[in-house]
A and B are shown apart, each in its own frame.
Chain A
């Protein structure tokens, strides 16, 4: 697949997120495919959600994920971790979100878009329903995925800072010879 030479900030964030979701699930041995969203967006049964904010001088926003407790358990079973308590489920969902946004950050960093990330906030409940954002200047996009016979939802909120022109919002791949990507192991010799 030929990658564009430059990305607008929205394209870069969305392309990075799409890749990150597929790669993260694949690393846990769970295939995932994009699904047509249902209305209203609803995660049935016991579900958990996590949201993490990000920022950059040109853009800020949040990445939110939501899935059933069953799916979160299935995602981690390959790693030998058995989630037994509600606290475990909160923690696991926050970490999944953290790894997802961390991948987005690393991918965007290769284009010179250096994001700062917050820490996860998590929610737990039954039949969680998610509304579209009502903030006019905020672009909010939900993507639904099928995984392990269940649904996994990802929401990306993007708020452009004022004063940035379209030209300044474009990012081109830059050399990062000493960077690291997911699964890499680097050793520092003395």
Chain B
């Protein structure tokens, strides 16, 4: 069975770009429109193997989402890679301190995203 990857982004275009790349590489994809949606879908899909998450989103942003799932032991081991336009060192450090495993800056190259997901999903 292929690894389930959750894509969390408020942009349908970005979700589709990421989904096209990951499905083409053999992954199964679950989409969430913001951090709150992702929390609910993660609870319903606890076998999610990796999360690709934007930072700037309505309702619950990517950093708040990281904080939320790190408080739940059952999701503590799920690797999260941030995919964002943000490049500020303090934000990167914040995500790292909350356990994020990687940081990609948009626009992304599909082959780099796939190799990052393969590397992190394999390590998990």
Residues of A within 8 A of B (CB): 24, 27-28, 76, 79-81, 83, 87-88, 91-92, 94-95, 98-99, 101-103, 105-106, 109, 114, 117, 119, 176-188
Q: Mark B69-96, 1 if CB is under 8 A from A, else 0.
A: 0000000000000001111110011001
Task: Name the residue among B58, B106, B107, B112 with the largest chain A CB count within 10 angstroms.
Answer: B107
Closest A residue, CB atoms, query B17: A79
A119-B102 contact in complex given A79-B17, A178-B93, C-beta closer than 8 Å? no
- Are A80 and B87 neighbours in the complex by a CB distance under 8 Å? no
CB neighbours (8 Å) of B86 from chain A are 102, 105-106
- Are B92 and A180 neighbours in the complex by a CB distance under 8 Å? yes
With the chains together, A187 CA to B100 CA distance in Å?
9
Q: Could you tell me the distance in whole angstroms from the C-beta of A168 to the nearest C-beta in chain B?
A: 21
19 examples of A-B residue contacts, CB within 8 angstroms: A79-B107, A81-B16, A87-B12, A91-B11, A98-B85, A99-B106, A102-B87, A106-B85, A106-B105, A109-B87, A178-B89, A184-B104, A185-B103, A185-B116, A186-B92, A186-B102, A186-B103, A187-B101, A188-B103
With the chains together, A91 CA to B16 CA distance in Å?
11
B60 at the interface (CB under 8 A from A): no
A176-B20 contact in complex given A24-B107, A182-B105, C-beta closer than 8 Å? no
Sample of 4 more A-B contacts, CB < 8 Å, known A24-B107, A182-B85, A186-B92? A80-B21, A105-B87, A182-B87, A187-B102
- Are A88 and B12 neighbours in the complex by a CB distance under 8 Å? yes
Secondary structure dominating the interface of A: mixed
- Are A185 and B102 neighbours in the complex by a CB distance under 8 Å? yes
Closest B residue, CB atoms, query A93: B13
Q: Could you tell me the distance in whole angstroms from the C-beta of B19 to the nearest C-beta in chain A?
A: 10
